Structure 1
């Protein structure tokens, strides 16, 4: 019972971590893409 709850907690934390990671990656890609388009438009 205790082990099962622990496993569930780890899974929940992992899901949250992946969600945050995905948000960060998307933000980074968007930022890099924006900078890239700015460089191309100013060139």
Structure 2
């Protein structure tokens, strides 16, 4: 949430529409692959 400046609800809405990388589930926790988030940020920056 801190890296992408989005709230949890917004992140999960973007995941539903496949506009944000899906998390990897580790037991009950959700974790994201760092390179996937970095790539997503780069794409968002290129849209500016």
Answer whether TM exceeds 0.5 for this pair.
no
Larger RCO, structure (CA 8 Å, separation 6 or more): 2
TM-score by length of 1: 0.36
